Amino acid sequence: MIASSLRVLLLIVPGLLLVACATADPPPEGNDDRRPPLDRDVTPGTDGDDVLPSSEEPGSRPGADATAPSDPCAACPEGEFCIDDRCQPAVCEPESRRCRGARVFEECLPDGSAWGAPVDCRRTEECDGIECRCIAGDCVPVEPCQPGTTRCRGENVQRCDSSGEFYAFDRACDTDRGLLCSEGECSCEGGDETLCGDRCVDTRASRTHCGACDSACPEPRNCVNGTCRCPSGQTFCGGECVDVQSSTVHCGRCDNACPAGQSCNAGSCTCPTGLESCDGGCVDLENDRNNCGACGRACEADERCISGSCFCRDNLQRCPMGSGDCVDINVNPQHCGGCDIGCSPPRSCVSGICSCPVGQTFCDGTCVDTSTSRTHCGGCNRSCRGECVGGACILGCNCPLATSYCRPGQGICPSSSNGCCGLFGQCVALDTDENGVPICP
């Protein structure tokens, strides 16, 4: 029984082996080890036939550099693109367009390797079957327009061609700078800003474009509500911002300079403490003779200003008192020694006293020589019936020897005619006695 069973198994097993071999896939031509070719990636472990020997790192290929990048175009230089799995200069700008006829354009492939197949503009979304022309790579509908006029298409500005047949692309509004296309022009979004050059600016606050484009505010003025203004509390004068409340060159207003010696306080030119401004200068009203007590009130030439009032100068006195002229009472004959004290002629005022000429005396309202006057001999009201000689009254004969009228060594001696020294006595030379006393000859 056992021997019969063994014989049956020996017949069945070889048959099963033949069937298995017949149903298995044949090995690829020229690749008996069943490894994938080197030019395609295989993920290790996804297929039993792709499992690598334990001596190789996952992802490597037999004979390949394990450090080589998987993408040969991972770092193409600027201006080159990945074409046929290697970096090459582009034939064209990727996805750019060019016209290949009046109504046909070509678009560059995404990798820049070649231009794509020609496209009829009438089959594009822009034209949708209407008459179009290819202008600078764009399909532009043919429509009558005024040459030079513009219009908006999205964020682009289109301008009517000189032929007046179509609008062509003019420029794109830079949305990154806040520009949008409005009424055929790139304008600033929101309306609060103005397009100056290629930027949106607030002309109400821009120092470079204050109130209008390119209207700059000079230093140090700022732009306030579209007007160049100086900082708060200052005024623009003479090309600079100044405080007219304190500037001596622009006091109170531009170009209003304070006179020398004055300062500007609260917009007014003022003098230092104790001085007043008179006719453009600072003066002391207490002692300024041209502005005594008030501006323009001048003292007379013989007056001086004391405590704001005009007084006569030293040694002078106002006569009549308080209202008249300033006079010198030491010499003035009408006011000698005081107001209204007059000196009658021939007297004059000497040191404040009415005095007669030298050698004369004032007697009974007149000046006399008391040495010879018989009415005032030797003094006022001293009458002499004889002769007044040297202020002495001489009467009759035996008169004393008189020498006051004679020269030295001479004298008046008794007349030989009458023995008296009368009116007609003459000076004669005198003799001397034994004692040297002068005697008549």
- Please give the pLDDT value at position 426: 62
- Please give the pLDDT value at position 231: 87
Instruction: Count CB neighbours of 187 within 10 A.
Output: 19
pLDDT band per the 50, 70, 90 thresholds, residue 47: very low
The rounded distance, in Å, linking the Cα atoms of 88 and 124 is 31
The full set of domain ranges for the chain reads 80-174, 356-395, 397-441
Q: pLDDT > 90: what percent of the chain?
A: 15
Mean pLDDT of 413-426: 48
pLDDT, one tens digit per residue, over 258-304 is 888 889 999 998 888 888 888 878 899 999 999 999 999 999 888 89
Whether 418 shows a pLDDT value over 50: the answer reads no
- Please give the pLDDT value at position 60: 39
* Nearest C-alpha neighbor of 233 from the set 243, 218, 247, 222: 243
The highest-confidence range among 83-97, 151-165, 309-323, by mean pLDDT, is: 151-165
pLDDT band per the 50, 70, 90 thresholds, residue 425: low
The rounded distance, in Å, linking the Cα atoms of 58 and 44 is 6
- Please give the pLDDT value at position 435: 66
User: Residue for token digits 């690598």?
Assistant: 52
Largest CA distance in the chain: 245
- Please give the pLDDT value at position 149: 92
Whether 337 shows a pLDDT value over 80: the answer reads yes
- For residue 312, give Cα distances in angstroms to 292, 299, 307, 334: 13, 9, 13, 17
Mean pLDDT of 415-420: 44
Whether 383 shows a pLDDT value over 70: the answer reads yes
SS3 content of the chain, % helix, strand, coil (to 5): 5, 30, 65
User: Residue for token digits 């298409």?
Assistant: 153
The rounded distance, in Å, linking the Cα atoms of 183 and 345 is 115
- For residue 338, give Cα distances in angstroms to 36, 230, 356: 150, 70, 18
Mean of per-residue pLDDT scores for the chain: 75
Whether 138 shows a pLDDT value over 70: the answer reads yes
pLDDT band per the 50, 70, 90 thresholds, residue 55: very low
Whether 423 shows a pLDDT value over 70: the answer reads no
CA pseudo-torsion sign 400, 389, 358, 329: positive
Whether 61 shows a pLDDT value over 70: the answer reads no
Beta strands in 52-149 (DSSP E): 80-83, 86-89, 97-99, 104-107, 119-120, 132-135, 138-141
- pTM for the model: 0.34
- Please give the pLDDT value at position 74: 74
Mean pLDDT of 228-233: 88
Distance of CA 398 to the CA centre of its chain: 113
- Please give the pLDDT value at position 180: 86
Instruction: Name which of 19-33, 156-170, 372-386 the model is least confident about.
Output: 19-33
Q: Which amino acid is at 379?
A: G
Whether 367 shows a pLDDT value over 80: the answer reads yes
- Please give the pLDDT value at position 292: 94
- Please give the pLDDT value at position 405: 54
The rounded distance, in Å, linking the Cα atoms of 33 and 46 is 17
* Token output for 54: 């334990």
pLDDT, one tens digit per residue, over 192-217 is 888 888 788 889 989 899 999 999 99
* Nearest C-alpha neighbor of 161 from the set 176, 179, 140: 140
Q: Which amino acid is at 178?
A: G
Q: Counting every residue, how long is the chain?
A: 441
Whether 20 shows a pLDDT value over 60: the answer reads no
CA pseudo-torsion sign 198, 202, 206, 209: positive
